[in-house]
């Protein structure tokens, strides 16, 4: 329930943020849900075929920033914040990440907690379990104000498998 409320709050903020630029809006085509599917879906931990460790630092970098997976694979990301600042890893399309980032800049206190992201205080670790259902590129970024601009981003390259074709 909490999760849904937060989502709704974010959607409202994102809409407000977008309103200035394009009053015509994004709602006509109902693109919101397509975008979610474009990057895959929340995974089931028991089905994870791989664990990928990702380190986040105050030099505004993810290590590794380039991750390769196979289509259909469920990956358990174990994310560690090795810095002194708050960092996060958010999976999304580049467009979604940019929109979300702009909304966060306007509302730095905004809290969010979705299956496609993990926000971590200094020294903390957390997990994302995600299934990559479509071949292509899934971006990820830290959306804390200033971090994305500083280059705190990366990509998951999802390769097509014979089985999934
Ligand atoms: Cu960061």
Shared domain for 128 and 82, answered yes or no, is: yes
CATH number at residue 133: 2.60.40.420
Q: How far is the CA of 30 from the centre of ligand 1 (A)?
A: 30
Shared domain for 19 and 39, answered yes or no, is: no
Name the token pair of 53.
């460790």
Q: How far is the CA of 161 from the centre of ligand 1 (A)?
A: 33
Task: Please state, in angstroms and rounded to a whole number, the distance separating the CA atoms of residues 13 and 79.
Answer: 27
Residues 111 and 6 sit within 8 Å (Cβ to Cβ): yes
User: Is 165 inside any structural domain?
Assistant: no
Q: How far is the CA of 93 from the centre of ligand 1 (A)?
A: 18
Listing DSSP states for 40-55 in one string gives: -EEPPGGG--EEEEEE
Boundaries of domain holding 2: 1-30
The tens-digit pLDDT sequence of the chain (165 residues) is 344 445 544 444 444 444 433 333 333 333 444 445 789 999 999 999 999 999 999 999 999 999 999 999 999 999 999 999 999 999 999 999 999 999 988 887 777 789 999 999 999 999 999 999 999 999 999 999 999 999 999 999 999 986 644
Shared domain for 63 and 134, answered yes or no, is: yes
Which residues have CB atoms below 5 A from the ion given as ligand 1? 87, 142, 144, 147, 152
Residues 26 and 18 sit within 8 Å (Cβ to Cβ): yes
Shared domain for 89 and 17, answered yes or no, is: no
Shared domain for 70 and 53, answered yes or no, is: yes
């Amino acid at each position: 329930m909490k999760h849904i409320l937060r989502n709704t709050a974010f959607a409202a903020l994102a809409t407000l943020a977008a309103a200035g630029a394009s009053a015509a809006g994004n709602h006509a085509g109902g693109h919101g849900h397509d975008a979610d599917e474009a990057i895959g879906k929340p995974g089931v931990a028991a089905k994870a075929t791989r664990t990928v460790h990702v380190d986040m630092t105050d030099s505004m970098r993810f290590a590794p920033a380039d991750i390769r997976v196979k289509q259909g694979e469920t990956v358990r990301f174990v994310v560690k914040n090795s810095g002194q600042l708050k960092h996060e890893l958010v999976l999304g399309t580049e467009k979604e990440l940019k929109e979300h980032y702009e909304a966060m800049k306007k509302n730095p206190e905004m809290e969010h907690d979705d299956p496609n992201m993990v926000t971590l205080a200094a020294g903390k670790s957390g997990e994302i379990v995600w299934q990559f259902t479509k071949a292509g590129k899934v971006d990820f970024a830290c959306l804390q104000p200033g971090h994305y601009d500083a280059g705190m981003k990366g990509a998951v390259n999802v390769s097509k498998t014979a089985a999934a074709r």
